[in-house]
């Protein structure tokens, strides 16, 4: 993936941004990380403190680099209901600041969108042509940010690639109240507590291990499909019930999930159609069970 370029990674202190920052740095690229540390993964990183809402700062940084990986976002769905204004200012306003600077300085941009823009699947698998029916303020903000990216690509010829990643998991993902389902389940089960499932647990997700997500970013960097969103996932989904029971099995504990009230506007089914990504060379390699084993091994060492 080495490009011998100067690269900016926004959101570099977050879970995915941290892994991407390290991957690019280890391969010899000159990488600048930017983060406001509002939602860090907790690992130490040589990263500039700053905010994508600061248009002057973003213009200065992008003027000095070649490529931007724009991952900075208020990415928690639950938090987006509590702080919708913040969510839109960061996810939409911040993205527009990045796009304006890329247009001005003629720089390459890889934008991290989300499968949440689709809402609940209306088909067995979700292709890029699936209707966009976002359920949450977070999802709406990502849809709007995508629309601005597409506008800049078509109207101003900004070289922006759009990655619609499905549910990414792996080491350093937070397990607190704003954490994702796998880290939260692993933490509770490791403590001998049953996993708590919202609703009836039949909702499904397409979980992609972080190593495959990094492969996806490499694919996007090489792609010249500007302004055209591409799905990245495994092409397989699993119910939250099955996920909880698999993690219990991997810990070899005698536990059963407990159930609580449904979340508002819960997305019930997400499964990626990755046909277009495969044509670009994407090949997810890590099965859910293998990925969970790797995550649990890391968790036990860190706990």
Span 124-152, mean pLDDT?
96
CATH number for the domain that contains residue 248: 3.90.25.10
- Is 119 part of a structural domain of the chain? yes
**Is residue 278 in a domain?**
no
Range list of H helices, 124-270? 137-155, 181-190, 210-222, 240-251
Res 302: pLDDT:
84
Say if 280 falls within a structural domain. no
Task: With respect to residue 96, please indicate whether it lies within any of the assigned structural domains.
Answer: yes
d(CA 153, CA 226): 6
| Whole-prediction pTM | 0.94
Do 223 and 241 sit in the same domain of this protein? no
Residues designated as active site:
138
Task: Supply the pLDDT for residue 193.
Answer: 94
Asked whether residue 1 is assigned to any structural domain, the reply reads no
At residue 283, the pLDDT reads 95
195 with 227, same domain: the answer is: no
Would 201 be classed as within a structural domain? yes
Q: Report the percent of the chain where pLDDT is more than 70.
A: 98
Please give the pLDDT value at position 266.
Answer: 82
pLDDT at 179: 64
Number of domains in the chain: 2
Number of residues in the chain? 303
pLDDT at residue 3, as a whole number: 62
Q: Is the pLDDT of residue 2 over 70?
A: no
The answer to whether residue 1 scores a pLDDT higher than 60 is no
Tens of pLDDT along 35-52?
A: 999 888 888 899 999 999
Q: Which residue has the higher pLDDT, 277 or 78?
A: 277
**β-pairing, 167-169 with 160-165?**
unpaired
Q: What is the pLDDT of residues 254-264, one digit of tens each?
A: 899 999 887 77
Cα 234 to the chain's mean position, in Å? 14
Q: Can you tell me the mean pLDDT for 164-184?
A: 87
Span 19-36, pLDDT tens digits: 999 999 998 889 999 999
Average pLDDT, the chain: 93
* pLDDT surpasses 60 at 181: yes
What one-character-per-residue DSSP string does 4-64 give? SSEEEEETTTSHHHHHHHHHHHHTT-EEEEEE--SS--S-----EE--TT-HHHHHHHHTT
Same domain, 115 and 199: no
Query: Residue 253's domain spans which residues?
Result: 171-205+236-271+286-302
Assess whether 133 and 226 both reside in one domain: yes
State the CATH number of the domain containing residue 124: 3.40.50.720
Residues 19 and 51 in one domain: yes
Residue 124 pairs with which residues in a beta bridge?
none
**What pLDDT does residue 265 have?**
80
């Amino acid at each position: 993936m080495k490009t011998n370029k100067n690269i900016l990674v926004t959101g570099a202190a977050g879970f995915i941004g941290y892994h991407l920052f390290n991957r690019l740095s280890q391969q010899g690229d000159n990488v600048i990380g930017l983060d406001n540390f509002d939602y860090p993964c907790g690992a130490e990183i040589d990263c500039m403190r700053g905010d994508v809402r600061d248009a002057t700062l973003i213009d200065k940084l992008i003027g000095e680099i070649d490529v931007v990986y724009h991952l900075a976002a208020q990415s928690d769905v639950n938090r987006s209901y509590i702080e919708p204004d913040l969510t839109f200012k960061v996810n939409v306003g911040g993205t527009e600041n990045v796009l304006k600077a890329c247009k001005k300085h003629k720089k390459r941009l890889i934008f991290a969108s989300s499968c949440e823009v689709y809402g609940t699947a209306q088909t067995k698998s979700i292709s890029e042509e699936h209707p966009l029916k976002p359920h949450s303020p977070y999802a709406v903000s990502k849809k709007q940010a995508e629309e601005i990216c597409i506008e800049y690509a078509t109207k101003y010829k900004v070289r922006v690639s759009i990655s619609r990643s499905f549910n990414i998991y792996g080491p350093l993902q937070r397990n607190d109240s704003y954490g994702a389902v796998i880290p939260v389940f692993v933490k509770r089960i490791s403590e001998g507590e049953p996993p708590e499932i919202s609703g009836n647990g039949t909702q499904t997700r397409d979980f992609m291990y972080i190593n495959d997500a990094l492969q996806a970013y490499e694919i996007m960097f090489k792609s010249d499909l500007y302004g055209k969103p591409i799905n990245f996932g495994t092409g397989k989904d699993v119910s939250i019930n099955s996920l909880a029971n698999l993690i219990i099995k991997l810990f070899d504990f005698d536990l059963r999930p407990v159930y609580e009230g449904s979340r508002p506007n819960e997305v019930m089914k997400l499964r990626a159609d990755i046909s277009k990504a495969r044509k670009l060379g994407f090949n997810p390699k890590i099965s859910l069970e293998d990925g969970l084993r790797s995550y649990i091994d890391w968790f036990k060492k860190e706990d």
